[in-house]
């Protein structure tokens, strides 16, 4: 619930005006609020949410009721390529915003997963290393060598199941695991915007 100081509203309508002018003024303010709620609010909330999500990646944890640090992995967790982080975006509808991350593994990381998965049949390449000449020679006339890696074969892996345990590393709030910090940030901005409209 957003609570607004009604002082500004009273100031607007305490000026001397006819009943007709009062009604017209009230209708205009109502239209401004409606326009804000349906068009401007979704974008405002979407932008704040994206900043919040990026903040979770920087902090390597999720700011919910309390801060829950992600279980560490090699390097900076979930940002090896930056694809998952940059894939998050939002869409707006009348009066609402939807946060989307289309990456197939986004839900698994955000909620965690423990169980069996099916690995499809696939081909696995094998590689070998060898030293080859570079065409360059030392002062003594010995050719310099360099190590190269090359594909030396391939094997077919049959379809099979395997047990996986992916810990939850939440970065997007959900209905079951919301963020009061995010909600408060949106509410503060909403309150400020509405005060401007009725001032």
In the predicted model, is pLDDT for residue 11 greater than 70? no
- What pLDDT does 75 receive? 62
Which one is predicted more confidently, 16 or 112? 112
Tokens encoding 192: 């400020």
List of residues 6+ apart from 147 with CB closer than 8 A: 129, 130, 131
- What pLDDT does 66 receive? 94
Which one is predicted more confidently, 32 or 11? 32
Condensed to tens digits (0 to 9), the pLDDT of residues 26-46 reads 888 889 999 999 999 999 999
In the predicted model, is pLDDT for residue 10 greater than 70? no
**Rounded mean pLDDT of 49-67?**
95
Condensed to tens digits (0 to 9), the pLDDT of residues 141-179 reads 888 889 989 888 889 989 989 898 889 999 999 999 999
In the predicted model, is pLDDT for residue 50 greater than 80? yes
In the predicted model, is pLDDT for residue 13 greater than 60? no
pLDDT grade, residue 7 (50/70/90)? very low
Condensed to tens digits (0 to 9), the pLDDT of residues 77-133 reads 676 778 899 999 999 999 899 999 999 889 999 999 898 888 899 999 989 998 888
In the predicted model, is pLDDT for residue 5 greater than 90? no
């Amino acid at each position: 619930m957003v609570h607004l100081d009604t002082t500004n509203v009273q100031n607007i309508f305490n000026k001397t005006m006819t009943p007709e002018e009062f009604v017209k003024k009230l209708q205009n303010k109502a239209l401004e609020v409606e326009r804000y709620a349906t068009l401007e609010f979704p974008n405002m909330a979407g932008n704040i949410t994206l900043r919040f999500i990026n903040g979770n990646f920087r902090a390597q944890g999720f700011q919910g009721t309390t801060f829950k640090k992600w279980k560490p992995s090699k390097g900076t967790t979930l940002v090896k390529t930056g694809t998952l982080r940059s894939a998050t975006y939002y869409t707006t509808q009348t009066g609402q915003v939807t946060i989307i991350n289309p990456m197939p593994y986004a839900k698994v990381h955000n909620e965690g997963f423990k169980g069996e998965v099916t690995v499809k049949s696939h081909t696995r390449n094998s590689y070998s290393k060898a030293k080859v000449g570079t065409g360059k020679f030392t002062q003594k006339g010995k050719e310099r060598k360099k190590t190269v890696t090359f594909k030396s074969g391939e094997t077919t892996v049959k379809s099979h199941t395997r047990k996986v345990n992916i810990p939850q590393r939440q970065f997007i709030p959900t209905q079951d695991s919301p963020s009061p910090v995010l909600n408060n940030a949106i509410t503060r901005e909403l309150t400020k915007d509405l005060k401007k409209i009725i001032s």
